[in-house]
Structure 1
């Protein structure tokens, strides 16, 4: 055997180098095949069924266990609906309409992106009218969305006399411009609360949209549902008249007397409302519902799509991964409108802050508040958990503005502020002009 091995080695060494390399490689492959002999399963069927699914990077992330909302099922909103009342009623034409008053530091992208509108959509909109890049404080935007959350149309009130509308057209938008030539006339409407504020305001000559504007302007001072019979109100409304018909209107100021106390709300040049001293009426919000910030395990995505079914399963809030039992706080002053166990949401709390803002807290372990209870910013309302349709301990947190879910991490939340300097001087001059017109007699 040794002689044979020596003969083979001698013959191998006498071969040219390329041949030695080729023979060595072949030997290694042969040995590998001999050692590795996998068991092959022979399927009886001659036509196996194969399904191939390609997932993108974002889709793969949504399938991880830390993603709390299964993407094959949309969140059952009917189980978590906020109780409605008469003050939530809107004119039929206003259904699905979202409104925003431009404030300091706002841009078109910062406004629309917090509502989940894609940056590509915003870019295509700005290409139609570059002046949209220069929004001014106090101007108003309103828009509607398609069923899949894309922008359908947007209206920009450039001034009292000019309005621009941008309608979806194919993959882009088409702009139309309307210039009003009517005369703006101030009207004072007075009334006494009877059955309800809404019905009494309508009897005084106010339209549904004007009533909504009044409620929003005073939402931080008054709970309109609790006004009593005999309470009085006076409203100064600026209306544009064209050929004897009312085209549009703008709220200038409101005075409401309830329980012998007067409440004022007067519009400033920035489009916001202040009291007679120029102090802001909005109550400040916390950015996060916990004492410290936790890791975001699932982001806000109103157009999240199931990669298998292709159906939209929106994620209308943000998930924070946190240990069970972590204290959850109210982000602002408000009233508890829901505190119960609700199917997919598990133990669930909803707070209403004024009339425009609502926050929701889901998958809780324990509730610390009851429906109808008043809470202050920073109050503990629950302990985080893993209840309902949840795959791990976390808090699902939502912020809604005017019945539209927004991104809690980027939304422009209310903050307590007041006018200063020249802005306050201008406003105080306006107060002296408006206040005498808001008499009850």
Structure 2
């Protein structure tokens, strides 16, 4: 009797229990994982069938299109329409491409994307009746950073330990090439540099954008360097110290970028062609045939020509004190009376005249007398004039203060 009274209660409890289980299952079935929305190159990739590939040997833009469904478009018509916006000949092996295709059969190509580098890319859009092409950049954020450190090993190693790309070492070496022998830097040497770095989408590191200020302390002497344009419209940037003096000397160290000194300036040297002892009033820089020869300082081409001994040569007058001459060229690339800038290519290395192999004989005059340029204390560039100097000193004051403050904190 008691059991019969309990039956309705047990039945009701079982129903409630079942309802809860069913509700729980229903809720779980309704919860679906959210698909993340992926936006890249300005397109929502979720809307397309995405094909990732790289440029391979033998690939051309036309060939790539032929391998994919471009609908009613004809390859030659497409290349004609986009040639002014997309340089089809500039595609390089190994560079990535992204193809956005329709998800519906027959998966027609909608967008072709070619990545020139980590930042720049080209888009060819097939989604309209007329094909369009345009060039874009990924969103770039510029971040400013200052580091101050003592030298540990080489300059490159020190920068690497501070999380800075190796390219900055080359930039610093170039800036200070007239002031510091980087093959002789010491452990107690120090430097500080303020620079700007590029980040793609605010997160992916894309390299150093530019240097803003720096100093290098070598053998107890601190040398500052600030990039500055004397003419705001000019593309040329020179580096000056904290007093407005140019860091660059009037002359380059050599007329070639890469070379080997095969014979130095000497009052008495055995001539390899004439087989006799005589003065050698030049410095021979050996280099492969055709290597570009650069004028070591700005000036006017005083003379060009050919002689049996010198071969093809160029002589440049720099001012009332200095002149330089470049011998044995395979080709002369300037004319008499032409103004040339420091570092401008004026000819190519050869072995014309009395020469046993390809090289340039570099001759250097001071006050009309040939001297050894490697033994000269060469003058700096023209000093900054007064009207520019006041503005320059005001500009660098906060930059120098910042360098000094960080260096004081970190280099104690």
TM-score interval for Structure 1 and Structure 2 normalised by the shorter chain = 0.3 to 0.5
TM-score (norm: length of structure 1)? 0.35
Q: Which has the higher contact order (CA 8 A, sep 6+)?
A: 1
By percentage of residues, which structure has more strand? 2
TM-score normalized by the length of structure 2? 0.37
